[in-house]
Amino acid sequence: MKGTPKAGLQALTDSAYAWLAPQGSWGWSNAGLIADGEESLLVDTLYDLALTDRMLRAMRRAEPRARAIGTLVNTHANGDHCHGNELVADARIIASSASAAEMNELPPEAMAAIMEMAATMGSVGAYFLHCFGQFTFKGITHTPPNCTFDGKLDLMVGDKPVHLIEVGPAHTRGDVLVHSPKDRTVFTGDILFIEGTPIMWQGPVANWIKACRLIEAMDVDHIVPGHGPITDKKGVAAVRQYLEYVRDQARARFDAGMNAFDAARDIELREYSAWSDPERIAVNVDSLYREFAGESVPTDIFELFTRMAELAGFGSAGTPPAQSS
């Protein structure tokens, strides 16, 4: 797996760029830029307006064609990939139909309200602050896609073809890969977390594994994950192998009659314990259990965050673990 310690704007080719967050944990997401001729396409915005503005300024300094973003692609519905959309509101904003619908369910004002209440919510509130307290959700105008598609969509950026490939439901309901063959580059959104634990809000896990195999088969040199450093095929394989391992471990415990949270606590993470946010296994096992049981109703999100808070070591009084940052 190849990684880079650098954050900020990284040139992949003379007309394709990756924006890398300084870390890969909650809310610290990557983005991208593809340019050709007089046109530019932005892959994702960031979690708040200040972060997105900083990214756009850096892109415009490096690439004059980014001064007027013609197209924005949101790879999925999580706010750390779309909350900054209003700063490019004049663009054609594209997402899968499933993602566009999902974006309306947790708009920025809802996150702002949760964060206002967090201090009164005990351990789960402390965990919310730990995860999201460094971002500013107040004052963001929800700016959803104005163009949607299902399956595949082929675009042109100048004379450069760009392929949008829907691989969800997996991480979320409508995950999309953005593939630029001429740049030998794929932006994966949160199909890939590199050096961080993937989190499966939706599933089925088979779709996510299939998406990883699709990336592994691509003729690309640059693989830009949703979180973490730029990677290679070994990094993709590591994510796939984590999903396969947790699937198999969860299935054995499901068949033995163990409940989902006990199973999450019982699974030995082995080498994956070094990845950031290992407590996300609580969500992953819960999603797998629902899949095994054929249940479509998701578990309450506050319950899932409560489980993660416990695994992360947040006490009942809301005190963070000693090594928490």
Give residue 6's pLDDT.
Answer: 77
Q: What is the DSSP string of 245-311?
A: HHHHHHHHHHHTT--HHHHHHHS--GGGGGSB-GGGHHHHHHHHHHHHHT--SPPPHHHHHHHHHHH
Give residue 316's pLDDT.
Answer: 55
Residue spans of the chain under pLDDT 50? 1-4, 317-318, 322-325
Q: Are 158 and 66 in contact (CB under 8 A)?
A: no
Give residue 2's pLDDT.
Answer: 47
Give residue 315's pLDDT.
Answer: 64
Q: What is the pLDDT of residues 227-261, one digit of tens each?
A: 999 999 999 999 999 999 999 999 999 999 999 99
Give residue 216's pLDDT.
Answer: 98
Strands of the chain (E only): list them.
8-11, 16-20, 31-36, 39-43, 71-73, 92-96, 147-149, 152-157, 160-166, 176-180, 185-187, 222-224
Give residue 168's pLDDT.
Answer: 97
Give residue 233's pLDDT.
Answer: 98
pTM metric for this prediction:
0.95
SS3 at position 127:
helix
Give residue 115's pLDDT.
Answer: 96
Structural domains of the chain ordered from first start: 8-232 (3.60.15.10)
Give residue 244's pLDDT.
Answer: 98
